[in-house]
Amino acid sequence: MADEKRLQEQILRISGVNPRKCMKCGKCSATCPSYDEMEYHPHEFVAMVEAGEIEPLLRSESVFKCLSCMACVERCPRGVEPGKLVEAFRLAVVRTKDSERLKPDDLPALADDELPQQAVVTAFRKYLK
């Protein structure tokens, strides 16, 4: 339990988000383009961080489904910024040793001739450290 508390503090510090501002309207998840791909949805990230349930989120594929499109951030009536919370989880995962989501060697198989460099550099930002 002590570990979970420390992880909660880490996520709050990295993200700068205050989940207690949330009024549970669900608009973040309603507008999320990756909703169908996620096990835990943006509103659940907010609620679970507030409740101190960090481990399930760290282990979930959901952290890699966020598009960082900022729709939830823009449309939250309380300025909670759920997307920044998801980003903090993604960072907490990829900053851990040997937990890169994408290795440079994997890229050639994924890329075609038209793939813009922008996609590659963005993927490096998002999936490895």
Partner 1 sequence: MKTVSYYPGCTLRNKAKNLDFYARACAEKLGFSLCEPETWQCCGGAFTASEDEIATKLSAVRALKAARDAGQPLVTVCSACHNVIKRTNEAMKNASFADKVNAYMAQDDDFKTEYHGETRVYHYLEYLRDVVGFDRVKEAVVHPLSDRKLAAYYGCLLLRPGKVMAFDDPENPVIIEDFLRALGAEPVVYAMRNECCGGHLCLEDAEATKKRSNAVSDSAKNHGASAIVTACPLCRYNLIKNGSELPVIYFTELLAEALGVKEARNG
DSSP 8-state symbol, 102: S
| Cβ at position 126, least distance to partner 1 in Å | 6
Q: How far apart are CA 2 and CA 43, in angstroms?
A: 24
Which residue's CB is nearer to partner 1, number 22 or number 85?
A: 85
User: Tokens 């993927």 sit at which residue?
Assistant: 123
| Cβ at position 28, least distance to partner 1 in Å | 13
| Cβ at position 71, least distance to partner 1 in Å | 7
| Cβ at position 88, least distance to partner 1 in Å | 6
Instruction: Give the other-Cβ count within 10 Å of 29's Cβ.
Output: 18
Picking from 55, 39, 62, the residue whose alpha carbon sits closest to that of residue 6 is 55
Which residue's CB is nearer to partner 1, number 33 or number 56?
A: 33
Q: How far apart are CA 124 and CA 101, in angstroms?
A: 9
Question: Where on the chain is the footprint of partner 1 (CB under 8 A)?
Answer: 13-16, 33-34, 36-37, 64-65, 67-71, 73-75, 81, 83-84, 87-88, 91, 101-102, 107, 110-112, 114-127
